[in-house]
């Protein structure tokens, strides 16, 4: 089994797609008026309208209700990314911070309130391609 995508359900598909396009620099692929994907080399962020929820099962998901999942995005320079996102992001949860597990991280909220972590490995053990690192590529 392979994790291939993470999906966010939203009441405002256009606004959330525009936000993630600005944050990531990736153009979304619109597969349907109610569904879009931002594809990276490591996985896909899918964004679906709350109008798709009945197709999943009654009350299977609820827009703007997440309080436990964080989307992680690998970047080359967290501090430069913070500066670049200044006019895009409304809520920064913290400023770039060195975490004890070897990443420099910036936590923010998307327009629906979902947590987004933008990070850069700062420990040699966390750098992509190292023997004990996560094997991520940029």
Q: Where are the domains of the chain?
A: 1-50, 67-138
Q: Which pLDDT belongs to residue 130?
A: 44
Question: pLDDT band for position 2 (50/70/90)?
Answer: confident
- When the pLDDT of each residue in the chain is averaged and rounded to a whole number, the result is 90
Query: Does pLDDT of 28 surpass 70?
Result: yes
Query: Does pLDDT of 112 surpass 70?
Result: yes
Paired sense of beta strands 103-109 and 97-98, if any: antiparallel
Give the angle 35-37-41 at the CA atoms, nearest 5°.
165
If 0-12 CB within 10 Å is exposed, 13-18 middle and 19+ buried, where does residue 111 land? middle
- Measured CA distances, 81 to 62, 95, 96, 106, 129 (Å): 30, 11, 10, 9, 22
Whether pTM > 0.75 for this model: the answer is: yes
Q: Which pLDDT belongs to residue 58?
A: 87
Q: How many CB atoms lie within 10 A of CB 125?
A: 12
Q: Token pair 């349907």 is at which residue?
A: 32
In this predicted structure, which of 56-60, 80-84, 108-112, 132-136 has the lowest mean pLDDT? Answer: 132-136
Maximum Cα interatomic distance, the chain, rounded to a whole number of Å:
46
Q: Which pLDDT belongs to residue 127?
A: 55
Query: Does pLDDT of 123 surpass 50?
Result: yes
The CATH classification of domain 1-50, taken from the options 3.30.720.120, 3.40.50.720, 3.30.300.30, 3.50.50.60: 3.30.720.120
CATH class for the domain made up of 67-138: alpha beta
Alpha carbons 17 and 127: distance in angstroms, whole number: 29
Query: Does pLDDT of 13 surpass 80?
Result: yes
**Residue 119 and residue 103 in contact, taking contact as beta carbons nearer than 8 Å:** yes
Query: Does pLDDT of 131 surpass 60?
Result: no
Alpha carbons 3 and 84: distance in angstroms, whole number: 29
Q: Which pLDDT belongs to residue 82?
A: 97
Q: What is the helix, strand, coil percentage profile of the chain, to 5?
A: 20, 30, 45
């Amino acid at each position: 089994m392979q994790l291939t995508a993470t999906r966010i359900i939203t009441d405002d598909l256009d606004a959330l797609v525009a936000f993630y396009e600005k944050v990531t620099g990736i153009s979304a692929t619109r597969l349907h008026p109610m569904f879009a994907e931002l594809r990276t080399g490591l996985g896909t962020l899918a964004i679906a309208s709350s109008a798709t929820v009945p197709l999943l099962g009654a009350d299977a998901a609820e827009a703007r209700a997440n309080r436990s999942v964080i989307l992680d995005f690998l970047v080359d320079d967290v501090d430069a990314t913070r500066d670049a996102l200044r006019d895009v992001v409304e809520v920064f949860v913290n400023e770039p911070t060195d975490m004890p597990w070897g990443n420099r991280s910036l936590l923010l909220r998307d327009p629906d309130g979902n947590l987004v972590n933008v990070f850069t490995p700062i420990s040699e053990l966390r750098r992509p391609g190292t023997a004990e690192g996560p094997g991520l590529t940029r």
